[in-house]
Chains A and B, each alone.
Chain A
Amino acid sequence: MNETAHMEHRDYTGAKLGMWLFLFTEILLFGGMFLVYARYRQVNTAEFHEAGREMSLFIGAANTIILLTSSLTMALAISAIKKGLKARCLVLQAATVLLGIWFLVNKYFEWSEHIRHGFYPDSPKLLAMSHGNILFFGLYYVMTGIHALHVLIGISLITFMMVLTLRGRVSGADYVKLENTGLFWHLVDIIWIYLFPLFYLVL
């Protein structure tokens, strides 16, 4: 029966290949937005610098460190399961999830602050400002917003992996699902590494 045949069939290389192809598509998805950013920054360079001063370098830097650390914990989690250290793997996955949640909490406060100051799409304050300012904040919300959605998806995936690890479906013998989840998480991190200078270091 088809179902049993697939439970026996394991292709580590194929699973990795499929994941890398999927990551390629995510790069293109975000790439579209980076294209929009590049175009509008080219046309409104000075205004982007002006708008950039509204951003909190502190929160941005903190979030960068948080995500980088979470990539570390994720990589360590995979090292752990390769050595069969199930408990350590679970702790490290949990740490990654917590760091991801911390990132999102920071984002929540950051956005609230901007909205309280009147910087949100279609706000009267923003519409009274120059085009460059409107576009900068538009890009900020859309790009960090779609990124945050991916952070949330990543957190959900890792949580699911924790359940699978607990049940033994992810183990030292078969950990490609966890590796692929790790790849997704690293992608989310790398995208932030690009977003950070584009929004927080435009000084």
Chain B
Amino acid sequence: MEPSFYQAKTKYPGIFGWIFSTDHKRIGLLYLVSTLAFFAVGVCLGLTLRLELIRSGMHIISAQTYNAIFTLHGVIMIFLFIIPGIPSSLGNFIMPLQIGARDVAFPKINILSWWLFIIGGACAVTSLFTGGGPIDTGWTFYVPYSIRTRTNTSLAVFGVFLIGMSSTLTGMNFLTTIHRLRAPGMTWKRMPLFVWSIYATSWIQLLATPVLAITLLLIIIERFFGVGFFDPTKGGDPILFEHMFWIYSHPAVYIMILPAMGAVTDIIPVFARRNIFGYTFIAASSLAIAFVGYLVWGHHMFTSGMSDTARVIFSFLTFLVAVPSGIKVFNWIASLYKGSIRMDAPLLYTLAFIFLFSIGGLTGLVQGALATSLHVHGTYFIVGHFHYVIFGGAAMGFFAGLHYWFPKITGKLYEEHLAKLAWVLLFIGFNMLYFSMFVLGWEGMPRRYYDYLPKFDGPNLVSTIGSWILAMGLIIMFYNLIHSILAGKDAGDNPWEAASLEWQTSSPPPAENFETTPVVTKGPYSFQ
């Protein structure tokens, strides 16, 4: 039997065999460790925000610091955790295995992508301690404030620019890989739906990110040279910035959610012991979400002064984009129906995903309808909505995938009881933390404020306590995974008795993934 990829001989010794590796599995792990490290920082920032907001009139940090912290919380969580998140870690590790390939199409560009990510992250972190100090514009960098603020905006924005380049190259790499490197017999319709989701995500990464890139460059150019594109005194238009920013940043949220949907779509058949319901519709809906997602960016700008006609069109398209997601939810439920359910951690996290994402999605409709949008814009309702979809959705799906593929990546089994305990704490803490925000937002509490009226005290207290319970859950979950790497039981090749290709090689896989190139004769969820 071949040694695992961990033991393979590498071109460079020691740590350099990792940080200069061109093995997609090692690169996936590099991303996993770095994105989770940034996630930890983002969580701490979030906990600090919640601590500041525990009670009205009480302050542990200044208003300026508060603004910097919520900006950083957003920038780190979005650009350094959840956007690269699943695609670059699980996508990198698992996708080539699932299509029976030896690696991705461009392994050197793959490691270049990771370096761009790291250098971009380093720029963002450095910007905290240099120049005018940590950026305080909000992660949306709206002009004119982002042009005028004395904080170290240019370096932070340049960091995000580099991270964007990383994302674009990864998208290009994965698209070429899926088109060119599928094993014999692996037709498009025999690919696992995780691969379909990575495929759709890669199209968004490829095409949307460059628009963000130019928008960010224009901020930097504006700050240094005063060109005037977004400055009304020079004929510029701040609303143009909003358009350019959201033309990327809306599709970006589909980069966040599609891979998580893909992971849970792979998990459900295995833990219900039956084929997925509606394979073609799920694959097609991933592409539909990617496409329609490009058309709805205006729903972030309903109060910015667009015409009624434009707003009605964006509202309609926003409702339309919810349909393919709804199709997936129904297909997942149908896939569980009359299945032989194994209630292990991957499925628990999957069920939480479906529930929390649905709540997030439905509240998105409240925001997408013009009349109610006016009521909730700029309030905590929005904050609640996006945390339900990004955290309750994408991140929960990430955790599901982590548990599911943990044995494949590490060769070990995590401890099931601890995983379930963590899940309970996560679920309770999450809902306390974020459901309160719907209440607060509806009652009128504005977002990005470091203080509030006493009438909002109650739900804020609940929310902050929820954040502590959630943090406990995260600590237990990660403790379990890390401890199990060191002391877990051996997993064997296929502990879940799954049918997709990654489970037909050893855990962890050898350097070349498969002893011989697999020949595929059936679908990824055929258990009979």
Chain A contact residues, CB within 8 Å of chain B: 1-3, 5-6, 9, 11, 13-14, 17-18, 21-22, 24-26, 28-33, 35-36, 39-40, 43-44, 121-122, 127, 130-132, 134-135, 138-139, 141-142, 146
Contact = CB atoms under 8 A, between A and B. Distances in A.
B235 interface: yes
Given A25-B210, A32-B214, A121-B228, A40 B235 contact: yes
B228 A25 contact: no
Contact of A141 (B105, B227, B235, B237): B227
Interface in B43-72: none
Nearest to A47: B235
B452 interface: no
A121 B168 contact: no
Contacts of A11: 105, 180-181
10 contacts: A1-B10, A2-B22, A3-B11, A14-B105, A17-B180, A21-B171, A24-B207, A31-B210, A32-B211, A142-B221
B22 A122 contact: no
A16 B511 CA distance: 27
A134 B231 CA distance: 11
Nearest to B168: A25
Interface residues of B, number: 47
Given A18-B173, A135-B235, A142-B221, A122 B226 contact: yes
Interface string B1-45: 000000011110000000001110000000000000000000000
A18 B172 contact: yes
Contacts of A14: 105, 176, 179-181
Given A3-B11, A18-B176, A25-B168, A146 B235 contact: no
A28 B103 CA distance: 28
A2 B228 contact: no
Interface string B203-232: 000110111011101100100011111000
Interface in B144-201: 168-169, 171-173, 175-176, 179-181
A14 B221 CA distance: 36
Say what secondary structure dominates the interface of chain B: helix
Contact of A26 (B210, B217, B234, B237): B210
B236 interface: yes
B106 interface: yes
B106 A18 contact: yes
A177 B102 CA distance: 22
B201 to A, nearest CB: 14
Interface of B: 8-11, 21-23, 102-103, 105-107, 109, 168-169, 171-173, 175-176, 179-181, 206-207, 209-211, 213-215, 217-218, 221, 225-229, 234-237, 240, 244, 511-512
Contacts of B240: 36, 39
Contacts of B210: 25-26, 28-29, 31-32
A43 B229 CA distance: 13
A18 B105 contact: yes
Given A134-B228, A134-B235, A2 B103 contact: yes
Contacts of B217: 146
Nearest to A21: B172
Contact of B102 (A5, A44, A138): A5
Contacts of A30: 214
A24 B206 contact: yes
A51 B234 CA distance: 15
A26 B218 CA distance: 16
B502 to A, nearest CB: 17
B180 A32 contact: no
Contacts of B211: 28-29, 31-32
A4 to B, nearest CB: 10
Query: Which 8 residue pairs of A and B lie closest in terms of their CB atoms, listed nearest first?
Result: A131-B235, A122-B226, A32-B214, A138-B227, A28-B210, A14-B180, A29-B210, A121-B225
A2 to B, nearest CB: 5
A13 B221 contact: no
A159 B218 CA distance: 30
A132 B180 CA distance: 49
A25 B227 CA distance: 25
Nearest to B177: A14
B182 to A, nearest CB: 12
Contacts of B22: 2-3, 6
Contacts of B11: 1, 3
Nearest to A39: B240
B480 to A, nearest CB: 31
Nearest to A141: B227
Contacts of A22: 169, 172
Given A1-B11, A122-B228, A134-B235, 4 more contacts: A13-B180, A14-B176, A17-B180, A25-B209
A142 B103 contact: no
A1 B227 CA distance: 52
Contact of B235 (A24, A25, A31, A132): A132
B105 A25 contact: no
Contacts of B511: 1-2
Contacts of A21: 171-172, 175-176, 206
A25 B512 contact: no
Contact of A135 (B8, B169, B225, B236): B236
A151 to B, nearest CB: 17
Contacts of B180: 11, 13-14, 17
Nearest to A22: B172
Interface centre among B105, B106, B206, B229 (most CB of A within 10 A): B229
A122 B222 CA distance: 10
Interface centre among B168, B173, B214 (most CB of A within 10 A): B214
A186 B474 CA distance: 51
B213 A29 contact: yes
A131 B22 CA distance: 51
Given A25-B168, A25-B172, A1 B228 contact: no
